[in-house]
């Protein structure tokens, strides 16, 4: 048995967030999430930070004839550069969907 076989990675973490639908604008959603809230990842004798991030989201969703969603996300990372991303999702039927984003 090698030394790595008897060691393990230990981490307690959680994500917390909320979504708000504005009553005046029924198809628009806004949200906020904090990812990887918790302790450092410990493997053998080294401690590592997980990529903590604060994420702001705005979305437009339509469910009339088919499900259509457009999103805009802004990720603020604690240990790297911030990222702005956007995406579109279309589901003409419940078992088929198409997604794209950057």
Q: Quick check: is 102 in a domain?
A: no
φ and ψ at residue 71, rounded to 5 degrees:
-130, 155
The total of structural domains in the chain comes to 1
Average pLDDT over residues 69-95: 92
Asked if 62 and 34 count as a contact pair (C-beta separation under 8 A), the reply is no
The answer to whether residue 34 scores a pLDDT higher than 90 is yes
Q: Quick check: is 38 in a domain?
A: yes
Percent of the residues in the chain that have a pLDDT greater than 70, as a whole number: 89
The answer to whether residue 28 scores a pLDDT higher than 60 is yes
Q: Does the reported pTM lie above 0.75?
A: no
Q: Quick check: is 99 in a domain?
A: no
Q: Quick check: is 50 in a domain?
A: yes
Q: What is the extent of the structural domain holding 73?
A: 3-93
pLDDT at 31: 96
């Amino acid at each position: 048995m090698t030394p790595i076989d008897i060691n393990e990675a230990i981490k307690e973490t959680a994500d917390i967030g909320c979504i708000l639908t504005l009553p005046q604008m029924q198809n628009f959603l806004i949200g906020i999430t904090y990812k990887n809230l918790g302790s450092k990842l410990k493997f053998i004798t080294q401690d590592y930070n997980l990529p903590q991030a604060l994420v702001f989201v705005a979305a437009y969703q339509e469910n009339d004839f088919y499900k259509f969603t457009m999103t805009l996300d802004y990720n603020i990372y604690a240990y790297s550069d911030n990222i702005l991303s956007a995406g579109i999702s279309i589901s003409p039927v419940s078992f088929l969907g198409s997604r794209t984003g950057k």
